[in-house]
Amino acid sequence: MHRVLVAGLLLALACAGSGPPPAFDALLGSPGVVTLVNLHPDEARGRLFAVNYQQRGLIPLCSPVVLLERNHERLVFDVTATGRRYEYYFHKAAAEPFPDHLARYFGTSCPPERDALAGVDLEGVERGVARIGMTKEAVVLAIGYPPRHVTPSLDADRWVYWKNRFNRFVIHFSDGRVRSIQD
């Protein structure tokens, strides 16, 4: 009898730990979802990666999208303006749960700091590139977040990004602004 009670308690705890689905999943199929940063897909293959490779494609900040399906390693979404379908792949280098990662890239309203962009910040975000003099906030909007496994804090003055699996570049900040970009 004692074993049955222990087994039942363990099963109840396991079920309780699974809890409700992540809040991000509530966005699946919902209207009014937008990109929270510029996304840089591999256009030829229609793919993006959670390590945030800086491919040549550009899905602009605040683009309306429809999130179609998600599992533990992939999100499928369409860009409303183009009808183009993309697959966004999770990678352990994101160093956070996939739904939490995706919630930094997709949401229900454009980031408010977008409206305050001017000068080099505005130019960099519109072109989807980092430029000398840009603020950290504008760099995130322009090229997304640096992968957490190599840049665990946005407070750091050195952010590492990947162009692809083999090539990196580093953005150096001073007083919250881009000082140099090391290719």
Give the Cα-Cα-Cα angle 100, 103, 107 (nearest 5 degrees): 165
Q: What is the pLDDT of residues 4-35, one digit of tens each?
A: 333 343 333 334 333 334 578 889 988 899 99
Number of C-beta neighbours around residue 182 at 10 A: 10
Parent domain of 30 = 21-145
Q: How many domains does the chain have?
A: 1
Q: Tokens in use for 11?
A: 């099963």
Does residue 181 belong to any structural domain of this protein?
A: no
Instruction: Give the pTM.
Output: 0.85
Q: What tens digit of pLDDT does each residue of 149-161 get?
A: 899 999 999 999 9
Is the CB of residue 94 less than 8 Å from the CB of residue 51?
yes
Q: Is residue 82 part of a domain?
A: yes
What pLDDT does residue 30 have?
Answer: 87
Domain for residue 163, yes or no?
no
DSSP secondary structure letters along 79-117 = ETTT--EEEEE--GGG-S-HHHHHHTTEESS--GGGGG-
Report if residue 169 sits inside a domain: no
What does the angle CA 90 – CA 164 – CA 79 come to, to the nearest 5 degrees? Answer: 55
pLDDT (tens digit, 9 = 90+) per residue, 154-182? 999 999 999 988 999 999 999 999 999 99
Question: Smallest Cα–Cα separation from 80: which of 107, 62, 101, 98?
Answer: 62
Helix 136-143 / helix 119-127 crossing angle, nearest 10 deg? 20
Give the helix ranges, DSSP H, for 19-150: 98-103, 119-127, 136-143
Q: Does residue 62 sit within a domain?
A: yes
Residue 131 counted as domain residue: yes
